[in-house]
Chains A and B, each alone.
Chain A
Amino acid sequence: KNEVEQSPQNLTAQEGEFITINCSYSVGISALHWLQQHPGGGIVSLFMLSSGKKKHGRLIATINIQEKHSSLHITASHPRDSAVYICAVTRGETSGSRLTFGEGTQLTVNP
C-alpha cells in the first residue's frame, strides 16, 4: 500500500463545477504539499500546509491531521485548470525535507 493515496485517479468536469481531489496518508508528517503539473510537464507548488486551511484564488486546500487526510478544492472550474494534481508529504522524521508523492489525479475540465 502506498504511503500517499489520491482519489480519484481521473476526473472529468464541466466548466464551472466545484471539484474536490482527496489525499490520504499513512505516516507521520511535518507538512503536506499540493502540486500542479501542466500538460507541458512543468511542476509548480500550489500549497504547503501543516494544519487547517489555505486559500489562493479559486483553490482551497484543507488538512485534517487526526484523520490523515487532505482535500484540494477548485471552485468555478475552468478548462485552464486541466492538469495533474499531485499530493506529497514531508515525513516527520525525514532528513532533507524529502517528499513522498501520490500518483496524481488527472483533471480535465471541458468547456
Chain B
Amino acid sequence: NAGVTQTPKFRVLKTGQSMTLLCAQDMNHEYMYWYRQDPGMGLRLIHYSVGEGTTAKGEVPDGYNVSRLKKQNFLLGLESAAPSQTSVYFCASSYPFQGDTQYFGPGTRLTVL
C-alpha cells in the first residue's frame, strides 16, 4: 500500500498563476483533508471531505477550491496564487469514526513569488 501520496512535491508559482495539488489514498478512507503548515502557526485546515462528491470549508478556505470526484482522490486548487499562499501543504485521510487516526501525505512545498 502506498498510503497517502501527494503530487507534486515542490512547486514554484508566480503571483496570479493557477495550479492543482493532487492527493491520493489507497486505504478506502471516507474522510480526506487539506492542511497548510506555516512557521509559528501549526497546521490549519483548509478544506475537508466526508465522502465522494462532498466538500466543506475548514479554518482557512479563502483562495482555495477543492473537489472529490472519486473516493480515493482529493484535489486542492489555487485559482490565482498569492505570496500569502506560500506554505507546505499536507493531505490526510481517515476512517469515518469520530477522532480516528489521520494518515498524512509527505507534503507539497509551494512557493509563490
Taking Cβ atoms with an 8 Å cutoff, the residues of A that contact B are: 29-31, 33, 35, 41-45, 48, 50, 86, 88, 90, 95-99, 101-104
A102 touches B42 (CB 8 A): yes
User: Which single residue of chain B is at the shortest CB-CB distance from A50?
Assistant: B99
A-B contact count (CB 8 A): 66
B43 touches A86 (CB 8 A): yes
Main secondary structure of the interface of A (DSSP, over half): strand
**Total chain B interface residues with beta-carbon distance under 8 A:** 28
Residues of chain A within 8 A (CB-CB) of B106 are 41-42
Q: Compute how far the CA of A44 lies from the CA of B58 in the bound complex, rounded to whole angstroms.
A: 21
Main secondary structure of the interface of B (DSSP, over half): strand
Select which of B45, B101, B103 is within 8 A of A98 by beta carbon. Answer: B45
A97 touches B88 (CB 8 A): no
With contacts A42-B104, A96-B48, A97-B102 known, what are 18 further pairs, Cβ within 8 A? Answer: A35-B104, A41-B88, A41-B106, A43-B90, A44-B104, A48-B101, A90-B98, A96-B33, A96-B50, A97-B31, A97-B97, A97-B98, A97-B99, A99-B33, A99-B102, A101-B44, A102-B42, A103-B40
